[in-house]
Amino acid sequence: MATQNKIQKNSLIIFLFTLVVIAQTATSQNCLTIGCPGINECCSHTGYCGTNVEHCGFWCLSGPCQLSKSSSSYRLNDGPRGKIESIVTPALFHRLMRKVGSNCTGKGFYTREAFITAVKSFEGYKGTVAKREIAAILAQFSYESGNFCYKEEVTSETYCSSSKTYPCQSGKKYYGRGLLQSIKWNEFYGEAGKYLGLPLLKDPDMVARSPEVAFKFAMWFWKTEVGPSLRLGFGATTMRINGIECGGMSWNAEAMQNRINQYLEICKWFGVNPGKDLYC
């Protein structure tokens, strides 16, 4: 009887282990739609997550992809500069928000004051900033939040990975919130919280409650993850944020063009040259 119980116990352990492996495999094969759970992982064009050259090299679609060593002739952080308050005036911010519908959860949530406070809380943005980079930031924030319409991603997914550094908290979900709703998973909330000094792992909903936290959360990703691509032009920032639109496939061409159009429009408002490297 004892031997039989031991066999049943071992069988149960093997079964549970298999379920974990299957779940992890499913996640790794799904990164084209749900992203990679690890902050250091890249999503390849085949839908697998990893950190090797086959994931982060030429066919990398999102995450910390290995960037080209060359630079664009129009770096996003070059060109005309000014203080953030003088670039994003009340009139310009109102112009951005006029597209927000009355039925949007983000209506009245995202404010100019919260944006300026968040931007100036990061080193490198406290003095003068490049107008072209601010145009790119606003365009990406606008596109990823549905023209500032949404505070949260519309999903029932939990986005909880088996991270030892940033374990999921009971009852919490780590789907996209705020301005860059492609930011998901507990590792990203944990890392952002550590950087910002905020309990985002325990309270991810803070991003959808506070406009200042929402902008800081997005700016954290921009500075730490998107920042290295600024020398390559606008298209490279899209690769960092939502690379599944890259590659020139017909099914994503319209989405990419809509994103670019927003950037071109804001560059026109600022009176700056958008550059040539718009596609990724």
Contact at 8 Å (CB) between 225 and 64? Answer: yes
How far apart are alpha carbons 160 and 174 in whole angstroms? Answer: 7
Q: What is the DSSP letter of 121?
A: T
SS3 helix, strand, coil % of the chain, rounded to 5?
Answer: 50, 5, 45
Catalytic residue among 85, 113, 133, 144: 144
Q: Which amino acid type is present at position 105?
A: T
For 181, phi then psi, to 5°, come to -80, 5
Measured from the Cβ of residue 191, the count of other Cβ atoms closer than 10 Å reads 22
Q: Which amino acid type is present at position 20?
A: V
Contact at 8 Å (CB) between 213 and 195? Answer: no
Alpha helices in the chain (DSSP H): 2-29, 31-34, 53-56, 84-87, 90-97, 112-120, 131-144, 186-196, 206-209, 211-221, 234-242, 250-270
Measured from the Cβ of residue 57, the count of other Cβ atoms closer than 10 Å reads 12
How far apart are alpha carbons 245 and 123 in whole angstroms? Answer: 30
What are the angstrom distances between the C-alpha of 171 and each of 130, 152, 163, 189, 199? Answer: 41, 17, 16, 15, 15
3-state secondary structure of 29: helix
Active site residue 152: no
Residues with catalytic annotation?
144
